[in-house]
Chain A
Amino acid sequence: MTSSGLNLEEKKRGRDEGIPMNYNLSIGLGMVAGVLARLFMLRVDYRQYPTYPHGMVTHLALGFIAALIGSVLVPALVFKQFAAVTFLALAAQEFRQVRNMERETLSKLEEAELVPRGLDYIEGIAKTFEARNYLTMATALTVSGLAVASGWWAALVGALFWLIASQFLMKGKVVGDIAEVVPAELHFQGSLLMVDKIFIMNVGLPEMREKILAEGLAVLIKPRDDNGRATLHHVGQRQAILHTAASLLGTKREIGELEFTPLARKNIDTGEIGLFILPVEKDFDCLREIINRVPVLESASRKPLSTLAGRIAAD
């Protein structure tokens, strides 16, 4: 479709059917809104994801394509270009690859992490990246559709709505919503490292025990209800907490220094999680803030309380 050909026909149709909008403009508006939406969603990502500029370029480019697909859909339908619509649907399928791409990259980087993210965290990040492209597509589609149907002011309202909505859609639950973080006592029973009553590991060398007692930090993560307990039971969720804490506070874990590995273990009776870390910056308040803001992973989230049996069992 050349633009001049499209314009002529579109102008004719516009007169015939009362369509108030130039399609080029609707596609343009849709694309701009889509790319803007992707850009805003990408910026917030920095907290969780390495800030390499090439990754950002990749995602902006994909966001551009997603926005193009979304914005062209309505005009293609109006012109009854069903072949084009089919191709667009096929192109949308390609965005599944975004998840694979992120998963592969992060899994490979994982080998170089002393405190790994864990497969669940990686899957969560990969899913998020895929979903954000669909949000971009939806933004472009709505804005271009509104532009075609009601004019540029409706498109602007739609764009604003999606830009704000996408910020809300990005926010999931965090650990602070499902659990409370309180300070805990780090101590040894013989050679066994304990956080309150929770066994963490056996540390053989006395010098290491002294160092752990002097410089280590321990907290209890107390689930607020049975849903929280079931979610924290998931090992992937605990690994995500450990990774975030270790990357923000620093860790003294080193190659061959397994004694300093941060660990999170469960009190099997209460479901509380005892977390031990040997941080570079020993600061309980910071650690509590960090844990509170760790996202609850989609794959770890459990809701036994939404079933009757779960509610009865919780009594």
Chain B
Amino acid sequence: MAVITLNPEMVAGGAPIFIARNEEEQKRIALILSRVLKGMVHDLENGTYIIVKH
């Protein structure tokens, strides 16, 4: 449903992409988006979080 990343060069595609300046901001955006979208935050462990609806 959404992608939150620190590395904009690594992501592309159809889902909305949010670029964060640092890890704190990334976590905050991920938390807010997951609550708004009622999805779950998954960590790809490469500086990118994705939000998935299960």
Please list the residues of chain A having a beta carbon within 8 angstroms of any beta carbon in chain B: 190-191, 202-208, 255-256, 258-259
The answer to whether B30 and A258 have CB atoms under 8 Å apart is: no
The answer to whether B45 and A205 have CB atoms under 8 Å apart is: no
Given known contacts A190-B45, A204-B49, A205-B30, is B38 in contact with A259 (CB within 8 Å)? Answer: no
Give the residue among A190, A203, A204 with the most B Cβ atoms within 10 A: A204
The answer to whether B38 and A256 have CB atoms under 8 Å apart is: yes
Contacts of B54 in A (CB 8 A): 258
The answer to whether B38 and A204 have CB atoms under 8 Å apart is: no
Complex Cα–Cα for A108 and B34 (A): 27
Q: From the candidates A191, A203, A205, A255, name the one contacting B31 in the complex (CB within 8 A).
A: A205
Report how many residues on chain B are interfacial, defined by Cβ distance under 8 Å: 15
Nearest-CB residue, chain B, relative to A206? B27
Please list the residues of chain B having a beta carbon within 8 angstroms of any beta carbon in chain A: 27, 30-31, 34-35, 38-43, 45, 49-50, 54
Nearest-CB residue, chain A, relative to B41? A204
- Minimum Cβ distance to chain A for residue B30 (Å): 6
Main secondary structure of the interface of B (DSSP, over half): mixed
Q: From the candidates B34, B35, B39, B42, name the one contacting A202 in the complex (CB within 8 A).
A: B42
- Minimum Cβ distance to chain A for residue B54 (Å): 6
Contacts of A208 in B (CB 8 A): 41
The answer to whether B39 and A203 have CB atoms under 8 Å apart is: no
- Minimum Cβ distance to chain A for residue B44 (Å): 8
The answer to whether B30 and A255 have CB atoms under 8 Å apart is: no
Complex Cα–Cα for A97 and B27 (A): 52
The answer to whether A258 and B40 have CB atoms under 8 Å apart is: yes
Q: List 9 A-B contacts (CB under 8 A).
A: A190-B45, A191-B42, A202-B43, A203-B41, A204-B30, A204-B41, A205-B43, A207-B27, A207-B31
- Minimum Cβ distance to chain B for residue A226 (Å): 32
Other A-B pairs, 6, CB within 8 Å; known A204-B42, A258-B40: A203-B42, A205-B41, A205-B43, A206-B27, A258-B34, A259-B40
Give the residue among B27, B38, B40, B45 with the most A Cβ atoms within 10 A: B40
Nearest-CB residue, chain B, relative to A255? B38
- Minimum Cβ distance to chain A for residue B22 (Å): 14
- Minimum Cβ distance to chain B for residue A165 (Å): 46
- Minimum Cβ distance to chain B for residue A254 (Å): 10
Nearest-CB residue, chain A, relative to B54? A258
The answer to whether B43 and A191 have CB atoms under 8 Å apart is: yes
The answer to whether B35 and A191 have CB atoms under 8 Å apart is: no
Contacts of B30 in A (CB 8 A): 204-205
Nearest-CB residue, chain A, relative to B27? A205
Contacts of B41 in A (CB 8 A): 203-205, 208, 259
Complex Cα–Cα for A204 and B1 (A): 14
The answer to whether B43 and A203 have CB atoms under 8 Å apart is: yes
